[in-house]
Chains A and B, each alone.
Chain A
Amino acid sequence: MEGGASGEGGASARDGAEPGAGQSREQGERSGLHSHSAPQLGVWFLDRFCPCGSDTAVLAQPPPPPPPSRAQTFSTPGRGSSPSRRLGNVRGAAGPPSPPGRRARPPAPGAGRLSGAAREELRRRLLGLIEGHRVVIFSKTYCPHSTRVKELFSSLGVDCNILELDQVDEGASVQEALSEITSQRTVPSVFVNRVHVGGCDHTFQAHQSGLLQQLLQQDPAYDYDLIVIGGGSGGLSCAQEAAVLGRKVMVLDFVVPSPRGTAWGLGGTCVNVGCIPKKLMHQAALLGQALTDSRKFGWEYSQQVRHSWATMTEAIQSHIGSLSWGHRLALREKAVTYVNSFGEFVEHHKVKATNEKGQEVLYTAAKFVIATGERPRYLGIPGDREYCITSDDLFSLPYCPGATLVVGASYVALECAGFLAGLGLEVTVMVRSVLLRGFDQEMAEKVGASMQQLGVRFLRKFVPVEVQQLERGLPGRLKVVAKSTEGTETIEGIYNTVLLAIGRDSCTKKLGLEKIGVNVSEKTGKIPVNDEEQTSVPYVYAVGDVLEGKPQLTPVAVQAGKLLARRLFGGRSEKCDYVNVPTVVFTPLEYGCCGYSEEKAGEVYQAENLNVYHTLFWPLEWTVAGRDNNTCYAKIICNKLDNDRVIGFHVLGPNAGEITQGFAAAMKCGLTKQLLDDTIGIHPTCGEVFTTLEITKASGLDITQKGC
């Protein structure tokens, strides 16, 4: 073990990237100090929370900034060669202590060659001793080097647990076992916070370089500084940022296949079954519209243009594959351990990770982030799980869905309905009550109307009660029975595909949260957090869609995750700002918004204190294309009492996503109506319409566009 500190740190970094169960166990054994920690964990726990432990303070407030430059500490002469290694944190670089194999599993039976059980028992006791105490010195009373070391710790005012090998019965056996663990045959043999510092010379060297003091300050180590459960946008961003800040991080990600058997790789909803494939299918549908337009712009092709679902889906899936692979690479580059297993808390600071084959491994960490997101909800009616699909299945569907019934009025429902119609399919949307609940309702109705113009059929105020299969096939034929929400009327419809988009449920049920006392909202299944994303259990945090009352958007999760990691490990204090988060619904006519809906603004500020400016507009590109001149709509909501500050921004039109972003930035900077008026438009764009808004709703003036 002598001088092996940094080298072993490197090994553990490598190991970290390849956490295959069997292999890492072996490496854990080899590296010696793997802990058979299950029996001792209770002791640790007590240690950690006893008054002298520093961890309580850490939990109560953001940790102090790390030493300005850890790396420099390691680059002191004679102390290894890993100053720049990201994983080169104290434990990683300074010694062999916590390779990934350092997991709570009983030692492999018969690992020892000699006296089997007895030997194993001794070994376990030794490790227990090492792990259970801050400083352990294996010494001999007559050894001058041992005396020097003991004097050193005593001069530092540090209490030590000292085992005098010449005073105990099994001293020789202990020394032998110890040499197996550390490959150091001599005494003294010094352990500080589970790190094997070495003999007398090494201990003094460590003292001189400052490493010893650092080790002394450390908490008893867990396997990881941070375990993130969920490899989606928020989880990955948090994990990577923490790794960049020098922490040892693990990501547990496991996709439970949908009832239809669809599963996917790393990256979470956005990459696999959300934003990315959705926007690409939206783009495919827009191209269909472009093809129609292009004839008017002089492009001449006579053939009937057909759309191939398979070509599109294969192209999109191949892009997703590359993204998922990119995420794997990014984790590897940052030395984040990725384990494709389902994580579940079994006790404090400890999760059980279960892989596809049902193999279980336990991991411990100082901090946890829950970022498991959500999955589509099912109706709970006969036939729904058997015959219906959700957005989890749609984007990789191996066949064209054909005539489709979309159930729901969420943005997911409308977006899917929109692009399916744009691809030429017959689409019906069944809506229980309002469209796009939570969004500005005037805008929502306009979105619906624009979809109707494209041929999407809406069945309002109906809910499905049964789905029957009439015919198997790809797609088959399904009969849907629905009943009115207002009366007793029932209707039936025949569709090839039924897509449920009625909402999403948080993935919080099987995480074992109750075992450690993390509060989960009974009603929503979501996790309430404070403004630092901290749950009811201080060392457990949550980001992304599992959060209660926060926007469910990729960039929000990314930002929240990143800032959380910086607060936890980077000494920063900036919190995620959930105010004025812009968002866009990628319906065929895109709807972008930022800030308040008109309804919400009215509730908060009273309608009489608001100026609502609005106009219909006609994108220049639509003129020649002969598209309707009174469909696109722009609206801002201003607070009269606050200098006509813009508190709500809404736009329905092409490229709403690209338009809204900059305005959101401007709202962050305190946008007022006056500033809008003072800003010069870019001509001819759609965005410029916001610089010339003149008509308030209160005035009742006509906003329709007349010809041009």
Chain B
Amino acid sequence: MAALRGAATAALRGAAARFRGRAPGGARGAAGRQCYDLLVIGGGSGGLACAKEAAQLGKKVAVLDYVEPSPRGTRWGLGGTCVNVGCIPKKLMHQAALLGGMIRDAPHYGWGVTQAPHSWATLADAVQNHVKSLNWGHRVQLQDRKVKYFNVKASFVDTHTVCGVSKGGEETLLSAEHIVIATGGRPRYPTHIEGALEYGITSDDLFWLKESPGKTLVVGASYVALECAGLLTGLGLDTTVMIRSVPLRAFDQQMASLVTEHMAGHGTRILRGCAPEKVEKLPGQQLRVTWVDLTSDRKDAGTFDTVLWAIGRVPETASLNLEKAGVHTNPVTGKILVDAQETTSVPHIYAIGDVAEGRPELTPTAIMAGRLLAQRLSGRTSDLMDYSSVPTTVFTPLEYGCVGLSEEAAVARHGEEHVEVYHAFYKPLEFTVPQRDASQCYIKMVCLREPPQLVLGLHFLGPNAGEVIQGFALGIKCGASYQQLMRTVGIHPTCAEEVAKLRISKRSGLDPTVTGC
């Protein structure tokens, strides 16, 4: 390492000299490194937001981003998981699947269209083009804000110094007063399963496939697993989800079971209580997967074109050499331990986004945490990121949006006697004409029982759940009570208005099915 560092130092001496005057810690600057006020490791949602905000506030900032190709060789540009292999391509493919449903609805509404085949290649091409334009947009934005971008893989040299290695093996030494780790996570492979790594893919690959994945087995019960399985089904592919125990752990379990119930009705095959044991390649390129039914211990096997692992994500910390800087991680999760200020065990090193322990793995939280951190570092604010009441949406075929506590969490925290749950099964107006099944369209509001019945959580299962939940999340942030929400006049005819009309409590035992309009 020492030799390498020497080479890089020599190569960059000129550049470093230019920044010397501004660099904090002049001594380190004198050693020939590039010096910055802030180094951000990881060019995903959180890292970019933090870097741009700090630059806006006058800091000298660099972003180091490097995408290690997936085991299948998939790689992508600047922007991190959300843009490249997460929210954006996922939602676009979800939209494609929804459009398939609309094509089925259309004849009922008078459109003379017959069911059409779907071309994966067309969709993938369109999605990938959009993602590439976003990659480019991020590059331009960094440039506009005078943030230096290095496409290098970073590792700590000491508490203030990071070494970046480019694709070609070239090294760069960078030092800074503050360092933010925002490297996120990557999908986990079940490496103990024979053939998993060789033949399986993950969400890192799915959205970049040039050809249709064909008949697919999705392994996992996370929202990623359910979303991928849902959209593949919606695109007309034969799709199976294999779930070891419960789907959407940590989400409200009643909602989770409604989500999977809807998926089963929508055509996804769901194998509960099963775990894969082996993946083999058959002569005709197909994959043979053997699994065990955990309750009966019986083995079973099936043939698929694609096996997609969605069993969780691991934080991207392995190559960071965190021990060199003294940054502590949770030995179980591998995530970086942080305090409310996002500070790690080293006072000037911070971690935000999916790599930080105990944080919701969501783009907008990472963005806001990054921006607030930059503002604190610049002395603009002392506000801390509020991680409570973060709304989120699972883009399964029937979308599930929620904010606040699940029913289980509310009961655990306040006791069943102090929790009142209002709920309703409703039918979206648009479902009536094509006679779509609305059995799982359901809303649940979890409140404290004592007046004025503060709202603890809101759960919405139905079309456009993301759009519906957003505003209510604000209401809950404002400390909305059940009474206040019921005084809100509905917008007719929408699905969201049903939230403002929740009258039936679970405790009453009355039928929560909404009738009439």
Contacts and interface: CB of A to CB of B under 8 A. Distances in A.
Interface of A: 270-271, 275-276, 279-280, 283-284, 287-288, 290-291, 293-294, 296-301, 303, 305-313, 315-316, 319, 323, 326-327, 330, 423, 553-556, 558-559, 577, 581-584, 592, 620-621, 623-624, 655, 657-666, 668-671, 675-676, 678-688, 690-691, 706-708
B176 to A, nearest CB: 27
A296 B133 CA distance: 17
Given A290-B102, A555-B490, A657-B494, A298 B471 contact: no
A567 to B, nearest CB: 15
Interface string B368-397: 100000000000000000100011110000
A288 to B, nearest CB: 6
Interface secondary structure of B, over-half rule: helix
B126 A668 contact: no
A299 B114 contact: no
Interface of B: 82, 87-88, 91-92, 95-96, 99-100, 102-103, 105-114, 116-124, 126-127, 130, 133-134, 136-137, 235, 362-365, 368, 386, 390-393, 401, 429-430, 432-433, 463-464, 466-475, 477-480, 484-485, 487-497, 499-500, 515-517
23 contacts: A270-B492, A283-B429, A283-B433, A288-B106, A293-B99, A297-B99, A297-B123, A298-B122, A299-B96, A303-B114, A305-B112, A305-B113, A307-B110, A308-B112, A553-B489, A620-B88, A655-B464, A663-B474, A664-B488, A682-B364, A683-B87, A684-B87, A685-B467
Contact of B364 (A294, A592, A691): A691
B475 A298 contact: no
A275 B390 CA distance: 33
Contact of B492 (A296, A555, A681): A555
A290 B106 contact: yes
Contact of A294 (B102, B393, B517): B102
A708 B137 contact: yes
A279 B429 contact: yes
Contacts of A555: 489-492, 497
Contact of A621 (B95, B105, B235, B474): B95
A522 to B, nearest CB: 29
Interface secondary structure of A, over-half rule: helix
A643 B117 CA distance: 55
A582 B102 contact: no
A294 B103 contact: yes
Contact of A662 (B118, B393, B475): B475
A222 to B, nearest CB: 29
B487 A659 contact: no
Contacts, number: 299
Contact of B470 (A275, A300, A624, A682): A682
A662 B468 contact: yes
B119 A661 contact: no
A423 B110 CA distance: 9
Contacts of B133: 707-708
A558 B516 CA distance: 12
A316 B108 CA distance: 10
Given A303-B114, A687-B471, A276 B493 contact: yes
B111 A298 contact: no
Contact of B467 (A300, A556, A658): A658
B206 to A, nearest CB: 15
A708 B141 CA distance: 11
Contacts of A706: 137
Interface centre among B95, B110, B111, B133 (most CB of A within 10 A): B110
B472 A287 contact: no
Nearest 4 interchain pairs by C-beta: A662-B471, A687-B470, A312-B110, A661-B496
A315 B82 contact: no
A282 to B, nearest CB: 9
B474 A675 contact: yes
Nearest to A330: B516
Contacts of B118: 298-300
A660 B365 contact: no
A298 B126 contact: yes
Given A290-B99, A681-B470, A284 B109 contact: yes
Contacts of B497: 555, 661
Contacts of A681: 364, 470
Nearest to A622: B95
A583 B480 contact: no
B472 A283 contact: no
Contacts of A301: 103, 113-114, 116-117
Contact of A665 (B137, B391, B466, B484): B484
Interface centre among B126, B393, B478 (most CB of A within 10 A): B478
A681 B470 CA distance: 7
Nearest to B91: A684
B433 A680 contact: no
B214 to A, nearest CB: 15
A361 to B, nearest CB: 28
Given A679-B474, A682-B469, A686-B467, A620 B82 contact: no
A581 B475 CA distance: 15
B474 A661 contact: no
Contacts of B430: 279-280, 283
Contact of A668 (B92, B107, B487, B490): B487
Contacts of A688: 364, 470
A682 B403 CA distance: 10
A294 B478 CA distance: 39
Contacts of A309: 110
Given A299-B118, A666-B471, 8 more contacts: A290-B102, A298-B119, A301-B114, A305-B106, A624-B126, A658-B467, A661-B471, A685-B470
A665 B492 contact: no
Contacts of A623: 92, 130
A59 to B, nearest CB: 27
Contacts of B88: 620, 684
Given A294-B103, A662-B472, A708-B134, A624 B467 contact: no
Contacts of B103: 290-291, 294, 299, 301
A676 B473 CA distance: 10
Nearest to A676: B474
Interface centre among A279, A303, A664, A691 (most CB of B within 10 A): A664
A683 B484 contact: no
A680 B494 contact: no
Contacts of A299: 96, 99-100, 103, 116-119
Given A280-B433, A300-B117, A691-B364, A663 B471 contact: yes
Contact of A659 (B112, B130, B392, B470): B470
Interface centre among B364, B392, B471, B490 (most CB of A within 10 A): B471
B111 A662 contact: no
Contacts of B116: 294, 299-301
Given A291-B102, A291-B111, A664 B466 contact: no
Contact of A323 (B87, B111, B490, B516): B516
A311 B430 CA distance: 15
B62 to A, nearest CB: 23
Nearest to A267: B517
Nearest to A551: B489
B435 to A, nearest CB: 9
A583 B500 contact: no
A661 B386 contact: no
A683 B477 contact: no
